Amino acid sequence: MKKGCFIFSKAVETLEFFSKEIAKSYEKEGYDIYTCDMNRKDAKELQKFLSSHETVLITFNFIGLSEEDWLMDGKGSIFDEKCKSINVIMVDHPLYYHDQLIKSSKNVNIFCIDRDHVDYVKKYYPHIHSVTFLPLAGTEIKKEYVPIKNRTIPLLFAGNYVRKERLFSYLEGLDREYREFYLSIVEDLISHTNKNMEEAMSGAILKEIPDIDKNSMAAAIHGMMFVDLYVRSYFRAEVVKEIADAKIPIYVIGKDWNYLEVKHPEYIIPIGNGMEDTTFCLNHMADAKLSLNVMPWFKNGIHDRILSSMLNKSISITDSSKYIEENFGKEEFILYSLDHIKELPTIIRDALKNEDGLQHMAELAYEKCQRNHTWEKRVDILKLV
């Protein structure tokens, strides 16, 4: 029987991009690649492929494994019996996937992009037999590199702004006591930026319900998506605001930055129309001197923005995590602290004054990422499970 690798498309653009990068490695080893278009929903074509191949399923965030009607056969998911290996990569905190995790069969391999997320799954979903740390990876855009001194974008940020009214819509229907409870956890995380989500959420819940069991705790944390969304959006906005208010031009790829309230909105310079894809972002990273990152509360992982910046020889300027500190040195990126955001403008100005130093840093970071942090390297981890 032929080997096949199965991935999804037309679901989330970024995840489709990651899937295609992973598929390239499987294809090199002789796998037939089946890309399932989530818009077409062609169950017959899918069944034909699964019946003729020994298939490895790769999916992100349980896409295709969330009881989509056309992917069920009456007994369960059509993949359960047909696939040699079912692999789910979660690129968000596991709290978002509580419903899928509690129903996951034993033959599903879970991959988490943060080591704290691995601990979380093992703690609250012990029936899942395989949970592995799989850091995100970067992608190199294949083009001739522009030296730092010749790049036209001094500072780039690729990511959306999330308006407060949209965030607070998650609290609609909750009574005042619950809203205040959630906001107290937000304040705790803003004041203690070293805490991870589970630490802050479970700590607050235990104060209210000391004898809560693990199943109820996991369900309660699942209901707190607002906290995670708000905190990551809060710091993203604060960082961009601090830069713009210091009259430092920051070029942004993403939607709704015109809604951010700043003293000097003219220093937030949009590129594109807010609906750009990953390739568009990578091409502009390759023309940026500095590439800004704000970690989405991965306290023991890394974001692909950092690694893709390095692979395109743009200097990543980012807040840190345990994983970053263990795997990168200060000669490979520029670090700032969420506890000292007001220092960021000075850090940026000083960096841009030393283009020779930035070029040296770019070369060092590129070499390390090429050796250790591509999607091809991540596939090596997938294949070990």
DSSP for residue 97: G
**Considering Cα of 222, then 224, then 225, then 229, what sign does the dihedral take?**
negative
148-164+229-373 shares the fold of 2-134: yes
- What confidence tens digit (pLDDT) does each residue in 57-95 have? 999 999 999 999 999 988 888 998 889 999 999 999 999
Q: pLDDT category, 38, cuts 50, 70, 90?
A: confident
- What confidence tens digit (pLDDT) does each residue in 330-339 have? 999 999 999 9
- Strands of the sheet containing 108-112, edge to edge, are 32-37, 2-9, 53-60, 83-90, 108-112, 130-133
Identify whether the C-beta of residue 155 lies closer than 8 Å to the C-beta of residue 292: yes
Identify whether the C-beta of residue 58 lies closer than 8 Å to the C-beta of residue 22: yes
E strands, 98-168, are 108-112, 130-133, 153-158
2-134 is classed in which CATH architecture? 3-Layer(aba) Sandwich (3.40)
CA distance 314 to 378: 22
Q: Range with the lowest mean pLDDT among 97-111, 186-200, 310-324?
A: 97-111
Domain positions in the chain: 2-134, 148-164+229-373, 166-228
Question: Which residues have CB under 8 Å from 176's CB, separation 6+?
Answer: none
- What confidence tens digit (pLDDT) does each residue in 116-146 have? 999 999 999 999 999 999 999 999 998 899 9
- Strands of the sheet containing 315-318, edge to edge, are 268-270, 250-253, 153-158, 288-293, 315-318, 334-335
Q: How many CB atoms lie within 10 A of CB 86?
A: 24
Question: Which residues have CB under 8 Å from 312's CB, separation 6+?
Answer: 140, 141, 145, 282, 285, 286
CATH of span 148-164+229-373: 3.40.50.2000
Helix residue ranges per DSSP H, the chain: 13-28, 43-52, 79-82, 98-103, 115-124, 164-168, 176-191, 197-208, 214-222, 225-245, 278-285, 304-311, 322-327, 344-352, 355-372, 375-384
Return the pLDDT at 7.
84
